[in-house]
A and B are shown apart, each in its own frame.
Chain A
Amino acid sequence: MSVPHKVGTVKSKQATNVKAPVAKVVKAAGKKKDEEEATDTAEGEEWMPGKTLVKPPDQLDLTEEELNEEITRVLTANNPNAPQNVVRYGFKEGCYKPIIFVDQMAIHFELEGNLVHKESDEGRRLMAKQAEREEGTGAEKLDNVAKAGEKERKLTNQFNFNERASQTLNNPPRDISCQTEPPPRANFSATANQWEIYDFYVEELKRREKSKEKQEGQVLNKEEDKSKKKIIQAETQSDDITQLAHAAKIIERMVNQNIFDEVAQDFMYFEDAADEFRGEKGTLLPLWKLQYDKAKGLSVTALCWNPKYNDLFAVGLGSYEFTQEERGMLLFYTLKNSSYPEFIFNTTSGVMCVDIHEQLSYLVAVGLHDGCVAVYNLKKKSDQPVYNSTASSGKHRGAVMQVKWQKDDLDSNHNFISVSADGRVVSWTLVKHELVFTDIIKLPATDKVPDDLKDVIATAGTSLDFHKQKDHHFLVATEAGKIHKGSKYYSSKFLETYDAHFMTVSRVRWNPFHPNVFISCGWDWMVKIWDQTIKSPIFTFELKTSVTDVAWAPYSSTIFAAITNDGKVHVFDLSINKYEALCQQKVVSKKTRLLHIEFNPVNPIIIVGDDRGHVISLKLSPNLRKKPKEKKGQELPKGPEVEIAKMEQLLSSLR
């Protein structure tokens, strides 16, 4: 009766989900039972027609398909209890890393055995101990044996057997681990660009050169070395901003460019279109106005453009009044920074004239009001002149009115010539650290001076100019109104004398192109143009007040500009209009006198200095810069010959 029931249960067991190893066992058991039951059922079926399958109430209901579905079982040797997410801290990466291979061994039972091999060390030791004990306790042995025997006879049954056990206290296990201090870490990053490598090589080169120099120069004084070391130390120690000078300069120029942006644009690009409709006339466009507040009260006494850097010019400041206090300045401005001068030199007395060397544009010669001449070197940062003439070395006894650099002499020493109010024309040579002077000529006394005083009262020279091609010829103008033409090689007499003006001649200049023409202007309101072969002037212009300066334009042989006491600039072009100025423009406010004018050698601008210490730059309009017109079909010949020809044409028309 229980048989069919068993059959049913067995079958149900087969169908349920049981764990793998257990399932196998059950299956095996089930199979055995099945076989047994099969035989039983075979017998049982004879007398029990109906049999019902009894299912346990919680058995899964599966469809036929699901019952027939084959389920594969995989046996693995993994320990299901082993952890799968063990992590360890790795110092190399600085983070926790998971460990993939975990010990899969599951220990079910562990028993330490107490059998020791008799040949091993421990075995031998124990046997030796036992032998000792046997020898030692011979008497006790009998008792022991008897007791052992007795004990052996004692049977262990569940009523009579006592076993006592004790366990030592298991100390709670503790994990103590130690960790070394990790090595100190720092983040380092750098780039290795092509230019960084290049920089490094350049520095390496410099270092090697320095070490070479040091080796060569070890003969130098120790003192010099010490001073050098001090300087080097100071440079490396200072955390301050002396090295910022270059950047600060650039920034200042940029800021100025922004402020005077319109002016800069005008300077570069503005061409007055109205000139086409103005006929011959031209205009002057005011550009920058340069001033230095510490130069207040001083007048501009000299202007000179730098031949190499076309935006740099020198301004000499002093005073024409003899009663005013003696002080002077030499300033260098650049058009790129119109707010502050680039170089500032303070002089002990007023500067009267300035000249910059043609080739070495860092050498500047100045003539001072007290008769000294000085040479400054712009490359050196000092405030003092490199050379200075003193009373002993033949300085002038009157204010030096003009200085001009000459070509280097035969010993390749630099030299320059000065003319002063004491009537002497002197040549100065720069020899090592001194100025050596040579008198060239003395200006002849005027007729008005009585004979016996002729040696005492000097005729003051006011202006000096050297011929562009034959540079031994020069012109010197005097306060008396005469112009003398002389030569450096003749020290006793002048080659020629021209009665130029009734009053002081303020300026005399050779024409930059034509070899025979020069211009002069004086306080007698006149501007005169001369041919050196003719005693009387070719052109004479009368401007309404005394003319303080006149200058030829560097780009044309027939254009010149003159400035007068009333603040006007007059620009003439003889090839266009022989009688009138093309432009007469007032450029300063009332009561300011214009004192000096210079054309820029390259750009079409002029600078004008006034008696307030200001320098104003003006741009010449196109009408004032006209070149000779091209004839149709013919190419315009360029070069100084054209200019000479132009002048020659003019002159011949007058003769």
Chain B
Amino acid sequence: MAEVEDTLKRIQGYNGVIGSIVVNAEGIPIRTTLDNSTTVQYVGLLHQLTMKARSTIRDIDPQNDLTFLRIRSKKHEIMVAPDKEFLMIVIQSPTE
């Protein structure tokens, strides 16, 4: 338990990381470092996208599963790591 908390703290402290969000199975954010409205927006949109991506992978081969999803945009990169019950989202801007 403490290890995971440590890891989350470290992730937030890395160079370029703007924010991190942990979402539970129902789509409710349980840990976040961003403000409420941004969090809710990110969660709502990325949850659906992750479900869609996962469904795609699994439809092609049910024994496969989504490991992570990365969306690189002009301004930053959104990384999503789905788990059985949780979803972890990290937004990082390129370190230049």
Contact = CB atoms under 8 A, between A and B. Distances in A.
Interface of A: 191, 193-195, 197-199, 239-252, 254-256, 258-259, 261, 339-340
A193 B4 contact: no
Contacts of A193: 55, 58-59
Contacts of A195: 55, 58-59, 62
B70 A251 contact: no
Interface string B64-96: 000110100000010101111111101010110
23 contacts: A191-B55, A193-B58, A194-B59, A195-B55, A199-B62, A241-B8, A245-B4, A245-B7, A247-B86, A248-B4, A248-B11, A251-B11, A251-B81, A251-B90, A252-B7, A252-B10, A252-B11, A256-B14, A258-B95, A259-B14, A259-B95, A261-B94, A340-B10
Nearest to B94: A258
Contacts of B16: 255, 258-259
A606 to B, nearest CB: 26
Contact of B4 (A191, A244, A250, A340): A244
A247 B94 CA distance: 21
Given A244-B22, A250-B81, A254-B81, A198 B14 contact: no
B37 interface: no
Contacts of A258: 16, 77, 92, 94-95
A246 B87 CA distance: 11
B45 interface: no
Given A193-B55, A198-B62, A259-B95, A245 B10 contact: no
Say what secondary structure dominates the interface of chain B.
mixed
A interface: dominant SS: helix
Interface of B: 1, 3-5, 7-8, 10-11, 14-17, 20, 22, 24, 30-31, 55, 58-59, 62-63, 67-68, 70, 77, 79, 81-88, 90, 92, 94-95
Nearest to A246: B83
Nearest to B5: A241
Contact of A255 (B4, B14, B59): B14
A171 B92 CA distance: 80
A194 to B, nearest CB: 5
B32 to A, nearest CB: 12
Given A198-B63, A243-B83, A258-B95, A251 B14 contact: no
A243 B85 contact: yes
Contacts of A240: 1
The 6 closest A-B pairs by CB, nearest first: A195-B58, A198-B62, A195-B62, A247-B81, A247-B83, A248-B7
B90 A241 contact: no
Contacts of A251: 11, 20, 68, 79, 81, 88, 90
A243 B7 contact: no
A239 B1 CA distance: 11
B14 A339 contact: yes
B83 A255 contact: no
Contact of A241 (B31, B55, B68, B94): B31
Given A247-B81, A247-B88, A242 B95 contact: no
A133 B44 CA distance: 90
B15 to A, nearest CB: 5
Contact of B90 (A242, A243, A254): A254
A244 B90 contact: no
Contacts of A246: 83
A243 B3 contact: no
A241 B63 contact: no
A385 B87 CA distance: 34
A339 B10 CA distance: 9
Contacts of A339: 10, 14
Given A239-B24, A243-B83, A245-B3, 9 more contacts: A193-B55, A195-B55, A195-B58, A240-B1, A241-B8, A241-B30, A241-B31, A251-B11, A252-B7
A239 B86 CA distance: 11
A301 to B, nearest CB: 26
B83 A244 contact: yes
Contacts of A241: 1, 4-5, 8, 22, 30-31, 86
